[in-house]
Amino acid sequence: MLLNISFHFDFLPLTIVMLVAWVVPILLTLLGLRKVPTVIVEIIFGYFIGVLFFKSHQTDSFHILEFLALSGFIFLMFLGGLEIDTDQILASFPKKKISVKTVTKNPLISGILHFILALLIAYGSTLLLSQLIAIPHTWYFSLIMVTTSVGIVLPVLKSRGELTTNFGQFIIIAAAVADILSILLFTFTAYTIKFGFKWELFYILGLFVLFLLFYNLGNRIKKFPVFKRLAFTLSHAVSQIRIRGVVLLILIFTVFSQYIGEEVVLLGAFLSGLIMSGLLHKERSALMIKLDGMGYGFFIPIFFIMVGVEFDPKALTEFDSSLISFLILLLILMFVIKIVPSLLWKSEFNLRKSLAGGFLMSSRLSLIIAASAIGLDLGVITPGINASFIIMAIVTCFLSPVLFNLIYPDNPFLGEKTIIIGGSSTGVLLARRLNMHNKRALIIEKSKKRFNEIKTKGIRVIHGDGLDKKIYDTLNLNPSDYVVVDTGNNETNLEISKFLKTELEHGNIISRANSLSIEKKLKEYGVETVDMTRIMATTFENLIFRPVTYHQLIESFENFSVEEIPVRNIKIDGMHVKDIHFHQDAILMMIKRNNVFYIPHGDTVFQLGDVLHVFGTDTALEDTRRKVSFPAGTDIT
């Protein structure tokens, strides 16, 4: 036999764990608790199955579960690095001399100051807590206190359409900075605690050399046509070459980290994710789906469930009568540590938004659990403190998003939005795509049954008639809002479009035209029409002549898009294209001037009122808007 396979392995423990992983999201959905973090419930369920099924831990099957849990932890740290948008951070580097005004307005500098202030408050809080309980290592305890959870912050801001706003950028970058700096400090601190301050500590710098090596190598390799062709050819079916490459990258960094020290694995896995965040770009869409499937579909649930299995409430007895007061004070301080530094944003935003951002930043999850577990292994965290931090992770993940929404309530009807009349499959898909681009979208659906179906998909939908004027008053319809009319009936589309144009005097209307007669009538009312026959013919043409380009654009639509950006910045007027430093992921495709289109060249001169057609990532488009569209003018170099 080429392979000796033993069937004596007991799969029951793994089956129980995966049953919990499968049941939890279904249960949360059925109970209408989709906003509750799944991982928190997995920890709770893990504790109960540990009590009921895993009382005897000394089995080979349980050791395999521990290995899979460790793999889940490594994958979680990798995805944590992948969540960091390196483009956003690089775009935030100040390009002019730093001043007091720059500090308050630059999200990166503000994020660094936020972390430093939070760390100082955390250390002071630790000294305060040390008067109540025995804390073996105050500095390490402080580092655990200062962590945050990008995995909680991002979904909350995305659901609110705040990712591309200035407020959202400040919070995201502050959370990313907290993640990066926390992991760096954890790694150096843990290594020093275990081995002392020796020159071998600088081996950790080898990880950053490896990081730069792989990042530069990856950027060079992906430009070769042969590699592009191989990557596309072998990315499907049984090969899945990109997935294999990502797993190999994670393992290379993990093995390298292990040679330095077990405590460095956290940083190694995170850096491998950071590399992929910088390299993926337009491949991010399809690959992210597969990586999320691997991580959150198998490895990561095992990690969190095993955290629950290993949770020992008896460890809390070490605090005796001070337990309740300690937990309450710890919870309060964990919020204070993030809320007080967030007041730095008061000059840029108002007090309410700054406080709301502080509460959202107070959420802790994977990093606090991982750091506490490492501290327990090093002996600088007691079992009782470790159990307390797990409780804090659960509580803050529940409370932080709720308090954020209470202090800064969401109003989906304010600001620019797209209103889709008709909850067809096309309308639902359009709403999803707009949401992926962080654009507000909502659907008006007349059928009660279809309304309920769409509502369960997590898409904003209103039950009503597109001919009801009261609905548009409720939605606060603005002249800049787009209204897409697609009810599935040509005559109804025409009637609603006519009503919007004549009764509400609205201009931005788009509707489907399935015949020349309908198209003619719609155009009489100034409605932009979509010719489905022409679209299908164009799609077939693209599949015949440019299939690779077509598939790449379709599969990465949420990462790249085309946007029309008007030139309003007076500083841009009269400047040449070559004199403006556009973001590396932005391509200036065309310039529209007085209804005439121009292909831009280096010597093309911008004029106020020009409309730039720019292709790029959300970050690149935001950077372009900041440079050319802000009337007051900003740094454009």
Residue 342's pLDDT band, with cuts at 50, 70 and 90, is very high
For 215-226, what is the mean pLDDT?
78
- Rounded to 10 degrees, the C-alpha dihedral 305/309/311/315 comes to 180
CA angle (395, 400, 403) in 5-degree steps? 120
Instruction: Give whole-number Cα distances, 275 to 107, 293, 296, 512, 583, in Å.
Output: 22, 20, 20, 43, 19
Most confident of 331-345, 471-485, 500-514: 331-345
- Indicate the SS3 state at residue 485: strand
What pLDDT shows up at residue 1? 44
The rounded mean pLDDT for the chain is 81
CATH T-level assignment (fold) for domain 418-537: Rossmann fold (3.40.50)
54 CB contacts (<8 Å, ≥6 apart)? 13, 62, 309
**pLDDT at 450 > cutoff 70:** yes
Say which range, 261-265, 439-443, 462-466, has the weakest mean pLDDT: 261-265
What pLDDT shows up at residue 634? 46
Q: Which residue type, as a one-letter code, is found at position 202?
A: F
What pLDDT shows up at residue 635? 47
For 159-188, what is the mean pLDDT?
81
What pLDDT shows up at residue 146? 92
**Residue 212 token pair:** 């730069």
User: What's the pLDDT tens digit per position in 28-82?
Assistant: 878 877 677 788 888 889 989 888 887 665 566 777 888 888 888 888 888 878 8
**Residue 387 token pair:** 């159990």
What pLDDT shows up at residue 282? 47
CATH code, 559-628:
3.30.70.1450
- Indicate the SS3 state at residue 529: strand
Rounded Cα distance, 77 and 75, in Å: 5
Instruction: Give whole-number Cα distances, 32 to 36, 86, 403, 455, 458, in Å.
Output: 9, 35, 19, 11, 11
**Dihedrals phi, psi of 531, to nearest 5 degrees:** -90, 105
Q: Which residue type, as a one-letter code, is found at position 602?
A: G
What pLDDT shows up at residue 338? 93
Rounded Cα distance, 570 and 503, in Å: 37
Classify domain 12-407 at the CATH class level: mainly alpha
Rounded Cα distance, 281 and 396, in Å: 32
**pLDDT at 308 > cutoff 60:** yes
Dump the DSSP string for 7-27. -----HHHHHHHHHHHHHHHH
Residue 376 and residue 424 in contact, taking contact as beta carbons nearer than 8 Å: no
Residue 586: DSSP 8-state: E
Burial call 59-69: b when 16+ CB within 10 Å, e when fewer: eeebeebeebb
Write out the H or E segment, with its range, that includes residue 442: strand 441-445
* Residue located via tokens 């807590």: 129
Q: Could you tell me the sign of the dihedral formed by the alpha carbons of 343, 344, 346, 349, in that order?
A: negative
Rounded Cα distance, 548 and 282, in Å: 13
**Residue 39 token pair:** 């991982």
CA atoms within 13 A on the CB side of 561: 17
Residue 176's pLDDT band, with cuts at 50, 70 and 90, is confident
In the chain, % helix, strand, coil (3-state, to 5) comes to 65, 10, 25
Query: Distance between the two ends of the chain, CA-based, in angstroms?
Result: 66
**Residue 421 token pair:** 């009349």
Quick one: three-class SS letters along 230-256?
Answer: HHHHCCCCCCCHHHHHHHHHHHHHHHH
What pLDDT shows up at residue 119? 94
10 CB contacts (<8 Å, ≥6 apart)? 59, 60, 61
Say which range, 78-87, 125-134, 301-310, 417-426, has the weakest mean pLDDT: 78-87
Residue 135 and residue 129 in contact, taking contact as beta carbons nearer than 8 Å: yes
Q: Is the pTM of this model over 0.85?
A: no
What pLDDT shows up at residue 118? 94
Residue 62 and residue 602 in contact, taking contact as beta carbons nearer than 8 Å: no
What pLDDT shows up at residue 95? 64
User: What's the pLDDT tens digit per position in 559-574?
Assistant: 566 778 888 888 888 8
Can you give the residue ranges of every domain in the chain? 12-407, 418-537, 559-628
**pLDDT at 84 > cutoff 80:** no
Rounded Cα distance, 199 and 191, in Å: 11
Rounded Cα distance, 50 and 309, in Å: 4
What pLDDT shows up at residue 116? 93
Residue 438's pLDDT band, with cuts at 50, 70 and 90, is low
More confident position, 262 or 311: 311
Residue 285 CA from chain centroid, whole number: 13
Residue 263: DSSP 8-state: G
**pLDDT at 233 > cutoff 70:** no
Dump the DSSP string for 85-113. -HHHHHHTS--S---HHHHHH-HHHHHHH
Q: Considering only CA atoms, which of 12, 67, 20 is closest in space to residue 308?
A: 20
Residue 17 and residue 302 in contact, taking contact as beta carbons nearer than 8 Å: yes
Say which range, 52-66, 266-280, 299-313, 335-349, has the weakest mean pLDDT: 52-66
Write out the H or E segment, with its range, that includes residue 421: strand 418-421
**pLDDT at 556 > cutoff 70:** no
What pLDDT shows up at residue 88? 67
What pLDDT shows up at residue 554? 62
- Indicate the SS3 state at residue 512: strand
Residue 489's pLDDT band, with cuts at 50, 70 and 90, is confident
**Residue 472 token pair:** 């548009």
Residue 103's pLDDT band, with cuts at 50, 70 and 90, is low
More confident position, 109 or 125: 125
Dump the DSSP string for 123-172. HHHHHHHTTTS--S-HHHHHHHHT---HHHHHHHHHHTT-TTSHHHHHHH
More confident position, 527 or 62: 527
What pLDDT shows up at residue 286? 62
For 514-535, what is the mean pLDDT?
80
Residue 150 and residue 369 in contact, taking contact as beta carbons nearer than 8 Å: no
Beta-strand pair 596-598/586-593: antiparallel
**pLDDT at 632 > cutoff 60:** no
